[in-house]
């Protein structure tokens, strides 16, 4: 028999993984990819924690989310998709969703409006991170957790202007918590604190965890009110305003889970807004009425001061099925 004449099993054949929260663009993209790779997927969606809502409203929302998840799923895969309802503050509901899973993709969909992103958001994300990692630690079948964080957990520092002129930011950098609190950078604070909470628990409990620090996810529905964009002019001036396509981001998560050499944090972006024309393109994406050309006094190209060489190496190895030794 010729080598390769027998089709090899799908990477996820026989394994269950959980995507939590699966209701956002990244969650849905991940569910689709994981199903196609042979996994049984536990798609967990967080409920709305607003106590003013009526039970029937929650039931209607749950049905809509399930319908949306199944709508994007081929009939061939639907038997491997299981939908769960979870709550960031309900450890038992989270534990039910991850039970029997070999992997968890943990993300929190921050509110899309800066007005809704505040200290409560920070507390909720931290609690969610704690409960998910604790549930994973108690799951005997667990092999790896892929935790979605943000570039905003890397770039904000009291001396960011001075430091970023001298060094290139990478996975070793962390945003300063006091600086984020002082300037009410709630998105950055939520992502930094929740990631630090996850790392502390993962190391304490012996959970194999990899973090993906994503840039601004571009696509339909993105507006200037997105909390990630608070402080965007400073990020642009510092050469760290990074964006990422949701499909590339989802692929990076799969690579981080399946690659045996994946470790630590990975900055994930496929573009850094440094040129005036890039800034105009982003501005028009946020608001169609934005000017189509930059002011004449804003034509300089900003040096890029953030790098993701570590992720680039992982993606090349993953694409080729070749895994090098850890550095």
Residues identified as active-site: 191
> Which residue in 267, 271, 289 sits closest to 223, CA to CA?
289
Contact call for residues 195 and 211 (beta carbons, < 8 A): yes
Q: Report CA Rg, the chain.
A: 20
Q: What share of the chain is helix, strand, coil (3-state, %, to 5)?
A: 45, 15, 40
Secondary structure E strands in the chain: 16-20, 40-46, 81-86, 103-106, 144-150, 209-214, 216-218, 242-245, 264-268, 271-272
Characterise 186 by phi-psi region: left (phi > 0), alpha (psi -120 to 50), beta (else): alpha
Three-state SS across 78-143?
HHHEEEEEECCCCHHHHHHHHCCCCEEEECCCCCCCHHHCCHHHHHHHHHHHHHHHHHHHCCCCCC
- CA-CA distance, 163 to 12, in Å (whole number)? 43
Helix (H, G, I), strand (E, B) or coil at 66: helix
- Encode 1-27: b = buried (16+ Cβ within 10 Å), e = exposed: eeeeeeeeeeebeebbbbbbbbbbbbb
* 64 SS3 class: helix
């Amino acid at each position: 028999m010729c080598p390769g004449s027998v089709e090899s099993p799908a990477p996820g054949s026989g394994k269950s993984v959980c995507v939590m929260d699966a209701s956002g663009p990244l969650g849905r993209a991940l569910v689709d990819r994981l199903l196609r790779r042979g996994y049984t997927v536990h798609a967990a969606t967080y409920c709305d924690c607003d106590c003013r809502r009526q039970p029937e409203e929650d039931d209607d929302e749950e049905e809509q989310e399930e319908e949306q998840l199944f709508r994007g799923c081929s009939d061939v895969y639907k038997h491997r998709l299981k939908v769960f309802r979870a709550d960031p503050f309900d450890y038992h509901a989270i534990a039910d969703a991850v039970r029997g899973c070999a992997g968890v993709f943990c993300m929190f969909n921050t509110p899309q409006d800066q007005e809704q992103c505040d200290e409560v958001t920070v507390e909720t994300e931290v609690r969610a991170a704690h409960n998910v990692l604790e549930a994973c630690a108690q799951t005997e079948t667990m092999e790896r957790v892929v935790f979605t964080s943000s570039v905003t957990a890397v770039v904000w520092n009291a001396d960011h202007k001075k430091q970023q002129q001298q060094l290139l930011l990478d996975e070793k950098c962390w945003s300063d918590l006091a600086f984020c609190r002082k300037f009410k950078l709630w998105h950055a604070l939520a992502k930094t604190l929740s990631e630090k909470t996850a790392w502390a628990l993962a190391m304490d409990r012996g959970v194999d965890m990899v973090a993906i620090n994503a840039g601004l996810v571009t696509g339909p529905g993105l507006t200037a009110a997105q909390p990630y964009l608070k402080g965007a002019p400073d990020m642009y001036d510092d050469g760290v305003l990074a964006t990422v396509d949701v499909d590339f981001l989802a692929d990076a998560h799969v690579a981080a889970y399946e690659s045996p050499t994946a470790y630590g944090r990975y900055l994930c972006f496929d573009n850094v807004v440094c040129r005036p024309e890039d800034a105009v393109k982003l501005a028009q994406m946020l608001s169609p009425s934005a000017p189509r050309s930059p002011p004449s006094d804003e034509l300089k190209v900003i040096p890029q001061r953030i790098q993701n060489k570590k992720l680039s190496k992982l993606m090349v190895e993953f694409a080729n099925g070749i895994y090098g030794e850890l550095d």
